[in-house]
């Protein structure tokens, strides 16, 4: 099968306009005849549901949380990028586009990224109009900050909770449409399968998490906005409920999964304190603007109090290795550098898995009050979790899995290889390549939801005119039976181990062997152990309770079952990609001084995997990455 991204012809800057001018339209009177299912109500899902409903489509929205407002987009702290050039510092659509492509280590699709940069400015307008309380100057205009090592100030933010404020904006837009009867909202409902009829996505099977009822929903298009799969590592900064189930089951129904090995490790998280830990907490990267990262030069100093290590005995390794970017080096580079020093035995804190993020210089220079104004909430959070006062001693940080760039393969119109199945936000693969830049995740989610999907879904309807399929159709009945069977099977094993214990074990394998650095050997170890673990899971998992009630244990077991299969795909992808790029670092492919070595000759493509059946190796399809406007360059932050 040839992967056709259906990128419109013409110069890069005109592609999206051309698409919009040439696309087919659904007349206003006909829009209400089309049903759209949106699964997930984070930034992209809520924005899409609201916008589609505003246009007149009949929308059904689903989320597993108790209200759409709690999706994990809410936890994003830092901000959202947009090429507004309000600061007059030379920003432009092209620059945002180029930074994103370069940040993604030239593994993203050029046309998608350019479109993202183009619509970025409208996002800010839209959000401001919705009442998102962005930070402002005294003059009343919006303010910006520089974020994640960008050389222009293009990041808009709302105190330390930009994600929550943007999500509330989208949620409020949804509320309006729910009250108008254009969206039918299903909270505490989890999608358990995709229904494919005649090769097109036509509906979903869901489980009501309160009553356990399984129900079927038919639609003309299904939109998955179900986020990333970082929880395959068990410990990540994602919410407890984040899972791969929706996209993985879509993959099993025929939607190709692209680049699963591109996972982002965020450098500034609070280190793990014990094996009971359920998740990791991220501290905004903005701390690196004023903080200096260091470890002791000598192993013997690692157990000393940080203040007892004299200045000359400290290794400010980011400043040493990357003099021009220093402590602001991109996420993948800063993370790997931390791992390196800890692997060398110079890590600090419990288990030697931590480095210092020291703001004492900034406190001396600017005074404690200024620092409190800037980062007070982060210092408070750090103290709540660790019990340590970061005004008195440096914070300890360590990288943690944070975001996944890979996802379901989509074409330019955000449609997967299954007609009628659209994937948006973190769940798709398209815009961040092998590494995501800070403050770009929110931008992509909202761009997809507000400004791209509503057009492309219309184009799909107008050009294919799908027929209605009733939920009594055999395809639906089969999907329902499969789901019931799956649930019954989980409940009937009645083994000895909890789903969590499997999840933890899987996470450990993934983190050790497929985390910040991967090698052929480590990946092969995983490819051997993961199927064994999966086999044990299906023999020995214990799921208490029944399927006809609220059963968190059952929900989790189902998600872990999918992670156990998905992890193998991730490792397979990582193994096949014999290069280092962005979040994917292969030990075999590095320069002499330990930097990533990309292989543009052999690997400048999107790896899209097709499910071939249980216990069969998935088939690899390649979408070549063709750069018309930019040249692939080596990323250097030295």
Q: What is the footprint of another protein within residues 422-481 (CB under 8 A)?
A: 450-451, 454
Among 44, 118, 161, 327, the residue binding another protein under the rule CB under 8 A is: 161
Among 7, 38, 61, 158, the residue binding another protein under the rule CB under 8 A is: 158
| Stretch near another protein under the rule CB under 8 A, chosen from 43-51, 147-155, 288-296, 581-589 | 43-51
| Shortest Cβ 378–another protein spacing (Å) | 11
H or E stretch including 571?
helix 552-576
Q: Is 274 in the site for another protein (CB under 8 A)?
A: yes
In angstroms, what is the C-alpha Rg of the chain?
Answer: 24
Q: Which is nearer to another protein, 210 or 633 (CB)?
A: 210
Gap between the Cα atoms of 86 and 145, Å rounded? 11
Contact 116, 431 (CB under 8 A): yes
Tell me which residues in 206-225 interact with another protein (CB under 8 A): 210
| Stretch near another protein under the rule CB under 8 A, chosen from 124-132, 287-295, 403-411, 521-529 | 124-132
| Shortest Cβ 470–another protein spacing (Å) | 29
Q: Which is nearer to another protein, 241 or 515 (CB)?
A: 241
Q: Is 540 in the site for another protein (CB under 8 A)?
A: no
Contact 146, 23 (CB under 8 A): no
Alpha helical stretches, state H, 223-330: 245-252, 287-290, 317-321
CA 630, chain centre distance (Å): 25
Catalytically active residues are 331
Q: Is 353 in the site for another protein (CB under 8 A)?
A: no
Q: Cα–Cα distances in Å, from 212 out to 37, 545, 555, 583, 608?
A: 20, 11, 10, 38, 34
Q: Pairing state of beta strands 421-423 and 314-315?
A: unpaired
| Shortest Cβ 210–another protein spacing (Å) | 6
Tell me which residues in 386-405 interact with another protein (CB under 8 A): 386-387
Q: Give the phi and the psi of residue 294 in degrees, each rounded to 5.
A: -150, 160
Q: Cα–Cα distances in Å, from 43 out to 21, 57, 232, 334, 612?
A: 27, 19, 22, 27, 32
- 3-class DSSP state for residue 155? strand
Q: Is 318 in the site for another protein (CB under 8 A)?
A: no
Q: Which is nearer to another protein, 50 or 424 (CB)?
A: 50
Q: Which is nearer to another protein, 180 or 626 (CB)?
A: 180
Among 80, 113, 239, 608, the residue binding another protein under the rule CB under 8 A is: 239
Q: Is 173 in the site for another protein (CB under 8 A)?
A: yes
- 3-class DSSP state for residue 533? helix
Among 30, 33, 87, 135, the residue binding another protein under the rule CB under 8 A is: 135
Contact 368, 408 (CB under 8 A): no
| Stretch near another protein under the rule CB under 8 A, chosen from 123-131, 304-312, 403-411, 412-420 | 123-131
Among 34, 106, 114, 134, the residue binding another protein under the rule CB under 8 A is: 134
E-strand ranges in 44-188 read 58-62, 80-81, 155-156, 183-186
Gap between the Cα atoms of 209 and 544, Å rounded? 15
| Shortest Cβ 15–another protein spacing (Å) | 20
Residue whose structure tokens are 């507004």:
84
Q: Is 554 in the site for another protein (CB under 8 A)?
A: no
Among 16, 62, 114, 171, the residue binding another protein under the rule CB under 8 A is: 171
Q: CA nearest 43: which of 448, 607, 345, 386? A: 448
β partners of residue 193: 205
| Shortest Cβ 57–another protein spacing (Å) | 13
Among 12, 39, 46, 72, the residue binding another protein under the rule CB under 8 A is: 72
Q: Give the phi and the psi of residue 129 in degrees, each rounded to 5.
A: -65, -30
Among 89, 125, 303, 628, the residue binding another protein under the rule CB under 8 A is: 125
| Stretch near another protein under the rule CB under 8 A, chosen from 25-33, 384-392, 456-464, 562-570 | 384-392
Among 14, 141, 463, 602, the residue binding another protein under the rule CB under 8 A is: 141
Q: Which is nearer to another protein, 387 or 613 (CB)?
A: 387
| Stretch near another protein under the rule CB under 8 A, chosen from 233-241, 479-487, 505-513, 582-590 | 233-241
Among 9, 28, 90, 140, the residue binding another protein under the rule CB under 8 A is: 140
Gap between the Cα atoms of 424 and 452, Å rounded? 9
Q: CA nearest 163: which of 282, 248, 287, 50? A: 282
Gap between the Cα atoms of 407 and 423, Å rounded? 9
Tell me which residues in 179-208 interact with another protein (CB under 8 A): 179, 185, 187
- 3-class DSSP state for residue 74? helix
| Stretch near another protein under the rule CB under 8 A, chosen from 274-282, 363-371, 420-428, 456-464 | 274-282
Q: Which is nearer to another protein, 322 or 451 (CB)?
A: 451
Gap between the Cα atoms of 393 and 387, Å rounded? 12
E-strand ranges in 112-262 read 155-156, 183-186, 189-197, 200-208, 214-218, 221-224, 257-258
Tell me which residues in 563-622 interact with another protein (CB under 8 A): none
Q: Which is nearer to another protein, 236 or 428 (CB)?
A: 236
Q: Is 67 in the site for another protein (CB under 8 A)?
A: yes
Tell me which residues in 477-536 interact with another protein (CB under 8 A): 496, 498, 500-501
Tell me which residues in 87-106 interact with another protein (CB under 8 A): none
| Stretch near another protein under the rule CB under 8 A, chosen from 353-361, 382-390, 412-420, 597-605 | 382-390
CB count in 10 Å sphere of residue 136: 11
Q: CA nearest 506: which of 263, 232, 228, 229? A: 232
Q: Which is nearer to another protein, 180 or 344 (CB)?
A: 180
Among 87, 153, 172, 540, the residue binding another protein under the rule CB under 8 A is: 172
Q: Which is nearer to another protein, 92 or 253 (CB)?
A: 92
Q: Is 164 in the site for another protein (CB under 8 A)?
A: yes
Q: Which is nearer to another protein, 208 or 590 (CB)?
A: 208
Among 184, 279, 484, 508, the residue binding another protein under the rule CB under 8 A is: 279
Tell me which residues in 10-39 interact with another protein (CB under 8 A): none
- 3-class DSSP state for residue 127? helix
Q: Cα–Cα distances in Å, from 267 out to 205, 382, 544, 624?
A: 38, 15, 38, 31
Among 19, 57, 62, 86, the residue binding another protein under the rule CB under 8 A is: 86
Write out the DSSP string of 50-64.
Answer: HHHHHHT-EEEEE-S
| Shortest Cβ 22–another protein spacing (Å) | 19
């Amino acid at each position: 099968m040839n992967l056709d991204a259906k990128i419109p012809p013409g110069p890069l800057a005109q592609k999206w306009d051309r698409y919009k001018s040439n696309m087919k339209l659904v007349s206003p009177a006909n829009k209400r005849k089309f049903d759209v299912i949106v699964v997930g109500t984070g930034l992209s899902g809520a924005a899409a549901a609201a916008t589609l409903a505003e246009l007149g489509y009949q929308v059904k929205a689903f989320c597993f949380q108790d209200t759409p407002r709690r999706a994990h987009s809410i936890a994003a702290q830092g901000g959202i990028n947009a090429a507004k050039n309000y600061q007059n510092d030379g920003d432009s659509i092209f620059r945002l586009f180029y930074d994103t492509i370069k940040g993604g280590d030239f593994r993203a699709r050029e046309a998608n990224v350019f479109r993202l940069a183009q619509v970025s400015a409208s996002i800010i307008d839209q959000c401001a109009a919705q009442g998102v309380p962005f930070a402002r100057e005294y003059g009343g205009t919006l303010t910006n900050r520089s974020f994640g090592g960008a050389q222009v100030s293009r990041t808009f933010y709302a105190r330390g909770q930009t994600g929550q404020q943007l999500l509330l904006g989208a949620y409020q837009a949804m509320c309006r449409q729910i009250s108008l009867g254009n969206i039918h909202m299903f909270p505490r409902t989890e999608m358990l399968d995709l229904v494919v009829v005649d090769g097109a996505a036509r509906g979903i099977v869901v489980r009501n998490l309160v009553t356990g009822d399984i129900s079927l929903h038919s639609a003309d298009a299904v939109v998955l906005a179900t986020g990333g799969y970082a929880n395959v590592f068990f410990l990540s900064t994602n919410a407890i409920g984040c899972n791969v189930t929706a996209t993985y089951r879509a993959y099993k129904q025929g939607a190709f999964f692209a680049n699963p090995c591109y996972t982002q490790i965020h450098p500034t998280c609070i280190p793990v304190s014990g094996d009971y830990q359920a998740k990791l907490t991220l501290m905004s990267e903005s701390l690196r603007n004023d903080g200096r990262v260091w470890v002791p030069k000598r192993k013997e100093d690692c157990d000393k109090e940080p203040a007892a290590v004299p200045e000359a005995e400290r290794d400010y390794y980011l400043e040493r290795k990357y003099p021009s970017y220093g402590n602001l080096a991109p996420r993948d580079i800063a993370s790997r550098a931390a791992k390196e020093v800890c692997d060398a035995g110079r890590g600090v804190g419990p288990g030697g898995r931590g480095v210092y993020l020291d703001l004492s210089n900034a406190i001396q220079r600017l005074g404690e009050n200024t620092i409190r104004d800037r980062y007070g909430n982060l210092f408070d959070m750090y103290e709540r979790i660790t019990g340590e006062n970061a005004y008195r001693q440096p914070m300890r940080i360590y990288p943690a899995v944070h975001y996944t760039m890979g996802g379901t393969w989509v074409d330019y119109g955000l449609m997967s290889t299954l007609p009628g199945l659209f994937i948006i936000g973190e769940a798709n693969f398209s815009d961040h390549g092998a590494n995501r830049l800070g403050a770009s995740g929110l931008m992509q989610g909202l761009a997809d939801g507000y400004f791209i999907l509503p057009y492309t879904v219309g184009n799909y309807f107008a050009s294919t005119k799908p027929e209605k399929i009733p939920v009594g159709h055999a395809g639906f009945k089969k999907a329902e039976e499969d789901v019931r069977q799956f649930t019954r099977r989980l409940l009937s094993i009645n083994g000895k181990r909890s789903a969590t214990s499997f999840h933890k074990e899987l996470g450990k394998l993934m983190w050790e062997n497929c985390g910040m650095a991967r090698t052929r050997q480590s990946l092969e170890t995983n490819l051997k152990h993961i199927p064994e673990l999966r086999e044990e899971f299906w023999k020995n998992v214990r799921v208490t309770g029944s399927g006809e009630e609220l059963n968190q244990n059952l929900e989790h077991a189902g998600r872990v079952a999918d992670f156990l299969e998905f992890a193998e795909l991730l490792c397979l992808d990582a193994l096949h990609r014999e290069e280092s790029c962005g979040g994917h670092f292969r030990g075999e492919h590095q320069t002499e001084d330990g930097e990533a070595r990309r292989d543009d000759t052999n690997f400048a493509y999107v790896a899209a995997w097709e499910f071939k059946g249980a216990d069969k190796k998935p088939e690899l399809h390649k979408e070549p990455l063709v750069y018309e406007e930019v040249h692939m360059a080596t990323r250097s932050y030295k």
